[in-house]
A and B are shown apart, each in its own frame.
Chain A
Amino acid sequence: MTIAYTLPASIEAEKAMAKARKVNPFRPLFNSTLACMTFPFKLDRNCEIHIKEELMPKKAIIDVSSLLNENDGLKGFIISGYSKKPFPSPLIKKGSSTHQASFMEINKFVFARLEKSFKAIEDISHKFSL
Chain B
Amino acid sequence: MKQSEYTTCSLPSSRYYILDNVSTLPQPVTKHGNLISSCSHTDGVLSVFLNDNLVFSDTVSRFTSKVSFEFERILNVLTTAIRSLKLTQDYNGTYIAYLSGQLSDEDFLNEATHYAYSPLKKLDLETIKDIKILFEATKIEFTSSDIAEIFKIEHDLSVDAIRQLDIPSIREIK
Contact = CB atoms under 8 A, between A and B. Distances in A.
A77 B115 CA distance: 27
Q: Is the interface of B mostly helix, strand, loop or mixed?
A: helix
A86 B143 contact: no
B118 A86 contact: no
Interface string B135-171: 0000000011110010000010000000000000000
A42 B88 contact: no
Contact of B112 (A28, A80, A113): A28
Given A42-B145, A89-B99, A116-B173, 8 more contacts: A27-B115, A28-B113, A29-B117, A40-B149, A80-B144, A86-B98, A86-B108, A122-B172
A125 B97 CA distance: 42
Interface residues of B, number: 26
Interface string B93-122: 001001110000000110011011111010
Contact of A27 (B99, B121, B149, B173): B149
B92 interface: yes
Given A86-B98, A115-B144, A116-B143, A37 B88 contact: no
A88 B99 contact: yes
B173 to A, nearest CB: 6
